[in-house]
Amino acid sequence: MKSVIAALLLAALFVPGAHAEATLTPGSAQAAVDDLQTGMLGIMKKTSGQPFDKRVEALCPMLETKMDVKLQSAMAIGRSIWDSWSEDQRTTYVGKFRQYLCAIYASRFKNFTGQTLAVTGERPGPSGTVIVNSEVRIPQEASIPIDYVMRKTGDAWRVSDLYLGGRVSEVALRRSEFAGVLRSQGFDGLIAAIATKTAAQGNKAGY
């Protein structure tokens, strides 16, 4: 089970593999996923074994460029709560969410041990999105599907969500983490909880 979870969470790695892979068209949603994964693989190799804060520092600019952090953060709490907050509250929350997202990925990419991922295709998604299909490949393990939900913002495709194993939404995971805190402790409690969760990522062993 641990190896399966590890494979699911290593969703940002790309090296051409032996299975069928999609032909990438410049400017397409598939190419955007390829760019993200290629960049993150390079960062992972460069920072393999380095301290947690160095991995966060290296990964954050890539994530901010390729992922729609504001949209993900809004979806993680729901439209009604997002709309009820002031602009200052939203700005504070998105900043904390961004730090948490960077910390999550930095904790996952502690060491490079030959993991690979390939873009394999795409299909139409809801509300004008495109779902890019890919698969994680770990030596001596079965391939595991990862689906990126891509939304076009201006001329760029950005990740609005991804599905681990083709069915577990990262945004839904964040929503389940936040919902109870919001109900019992409100905005201030959520901000404090996210800060605590962010700091705790540095203590994780990685994959």
Domains assigned to the chain: 2-201 (3.10.450.710)
pLDDT of the residue at 112: 67
pLDDT higher than 80, residue 78: yes
Task: Return the HEC string of the chain.
Answer: CHHHHHHHHCCCCCCCCCCCCCCCCCCCHHHHHHHHHHHHHHHHHHHCCCCHHHHHHHHHHHHHHHECHHHHHHHHHCHHHHHHCCHHHHHHHHHHHHHHHHHHHHHHCCCCCCCEEEEEEEEECHHHCEEEEEEEECCCCCCEEEEEEEEEECCEEEEEEEEECCCEEHHHHHHHHHHHHHHHHHHHHHHHHHHHHHHHHCCCCCC
Q: What angle do CA 43, 149, 106 make, to 5 degrees?
A: 25
What mean pLDDT do residues 180-191 have? Answer: 97
- CA–CA separation, 17 and 69 (whole Å): 29
Q: Are the C-beta atoms of residues 98 and 181 closer than 8 Å to each other? A: no
Q: Kindly report the average pLDDT of the chain as a whole number.
A: 85
Q: What angle do CA 22, 136, 34 make, to 5 degrees?
A: 45
Give pLDDT tens digits for 7-57. 444 443 333 333 456 677 888 999 999 999 888 878 888 888 788 888 899
| Predicted TM-score (pTM) above 0.85 | no
What mean pLDDT do residues 108-133 have? Answer: 84
- CA–CA separation, 46 and 43 (whole Å): 5
pLDDT of the residue at 176: 96
pLDDT band at 204 (very low <50, low <70, confident <90, very high): low
pLDDT band at 189 (very low <50, low <70, confident <90, very high): very high
Give pLDDT tens digits for 163-178. 988 788 999 999 999 9
- Kindly state the percentage of the chain with pLDDT values over 70: 85
pLDDT of the residue at 28: 94
Provide the greatest CA pair distance for the chain.
50
